[in-house]
A and B are shown apart, each in its own frame.
Chain A
Amino acid sequence: MKHYLFLHWQSARTALAKILRQPVGSLLSLAMLSIAMALPLSLYLTVMSIQDWVGKLTQTPQITLFMEQSAETADIAAVSSALKTHPRVKGYTFISKKQALTDLEKRNGLNGLTEGLDGNPLPDAFVVTPASLEPKQLELLQKELSGLPMVEEAQFDASWAKRLYGMVDLGKHLTVFLALALSVALVLITHNTIRMQILARRDEIEVSKLIGATDSFIRRPFLYHALWQGLLAGLVAWGLTAWLIAVANPAIAEFAQLYNERVELRGLSPLELALVLGCAVLLATLGARLAADHHLRRVSAN
């Protein structure tokens, strides 16, 4: 067992030394691999960041009830009491048409807006916080509220967030597809690197077989080469995405500021990083194994 571990340790060390000794050749395949990995990683982080943000938006969905323009104080009192006793309503606030107009003026710096207008075009409104966040319940509540007397419309604020959710879902599917496609690319790239190496070391392999090297002995350095390459490529890809996020975040924050939102791309969590590195190593080793099995059989000892 100790002997076996020693053999592995020796191949691992030699393989890493070999990569480091040929910086140009290794860099080329490393660049290819890491860019192939950085693409789905960046997309993944973007999609996940948007999902986090949308999630925050829809955490407290609210339904806005707009009263008809002709609604009287009595009508408002009636709706108010209906909301108070409704089992599916957790709470509500009333925003009078007057208050809405001052808010609008303040928020957008449109002082004197009313002067150009014939009275107040805004309706009275209730902002309702539902008791249940379950989508079906929300829809039912929305329907019930819109049926109250003198209610013009019950608008579900998060309906556009729902649409965003749909887009996030699409992004997720895209990420999975891209990740799969580039996983195949990763296997193929390592397959090719290892194939070239096997061809370059044909003589050594042949002689080693002649003097008693087992298949696993011959395969081992190539597998370790691929392992290191996958690991290094994963780390470089991580660095690339971290750099991309660092560059993109200020611009995104500025853009989101225009809409009074705080949006930020997040980096990989340690668990995600470990997962990415694990997959990279696994796929690279798989590519090397396929190449080795295919080409070592051709270099026969006879």
Chain B
Amino acid sequence: MIQFDQVTKRYSGGVEALKNLSFSIDSGEMVFLAGHSGAGKSTLLKLISGLERATSGSVMVSGHNLSKLRGSQLPFVRQHIGVVFQDHKILFDRNVFDNVMLPLDIIGFDRREAARRVRAALDKVGLLGKEKVMPIRLSGGEQQRLCIARAVVHRPAILIADEPSANLDRAYALDIMELFKSFHQVGVTVLISAHDETLMEDYGRRILRLKEGQFTA
């Protein structure tokens, strides 16, 4: 599903965020990505969702070599990936329902079918009763759930979450993790990054540990 082959990412200014990384994630797998801030976790996730391009090496996602795709084709790759952003990227000028509707608008769903899917996604994350609420009225955990609902509403094959449990207390973080596990159980490939490893160890899944742009044992 996801395959990195000797991938290096160097930002302008010479900083090497990723050094010669190779790994693969199978379809339907749930994998954690661990490491301190600045270890390269976010860069790795951005390479998968086509928000950054590798300096060298190849990044394969769902059979597409992202390094070889033209810039105008990257949006279509992104449409098949669900991303939970570290800073949520919620739009505060519209209510919960319309926030979750956005990906379906982009893909161009029929309105009625789209509304049905939005409600299903909100139901899944436990926000069904708040579809008319403006996001500013939601708690931090609820905003996180809103972001997850938006990431899964178009039923992507790959779900990526960048530090979804940061800033949440442990009970809430566990709730969120359970949510991701439920998506994994219906066949979605899930990749979650976190700097707190204790949360991951309970799940017995594969953990990729990054340090200064390289994997450690």
Contact = CB atoms under 8 A, between A and B. Distances in A.
Contacts of B110: 6
B72 A211 contact: no
Given A211-B150, A212-B78, A204 B93 contact: yes
Contacts, number: 53
B108 interface: yes
Contacts of B80: 212
B91 A217 contact: no
A302 B91 CA distance: 17
Interface residues of B, number: 25
B108 A211 contact: no
Interface string A210-221: 111111010000
B163 to A, nearest CB: 16
A210 B106 contact: no
B211 to A, nearest CB: 24
Interface in B23-77: 46, 51-52, 72, 75-77
A10 B78 CA distance: 22
Contacts of A10: 105, 108
A211 B78 contact: yes
23 contacts: A3-B108, A6-B108, A6-B110, A203-B91, A204-B91, A207-B89, A208-B102, A208-B106, A210-B51, A210-B85, A211-B78, A211-B79, A211-B83, A211-B102, A211-B103, A211-B106, A212-B77, A212-B78, A212-B79, A212-B80, A212-B81, A212-B107, A302-B46
Interface of A: 3, 6-7, 10, 203-204, 206-215, 217, 301-302
Instruction: Give 8 closest A-B pairs by Cβ, nearest first.
Output: A212-B78, A212-B79, A214-B75, A213-B106, A212-B75, A7-B108, A207-B89, A211-B103
Interface of B: 46, 51-52, 72, 75-81, 83, 85, 89, 91-93, 102-103, 105-108, 110, 150
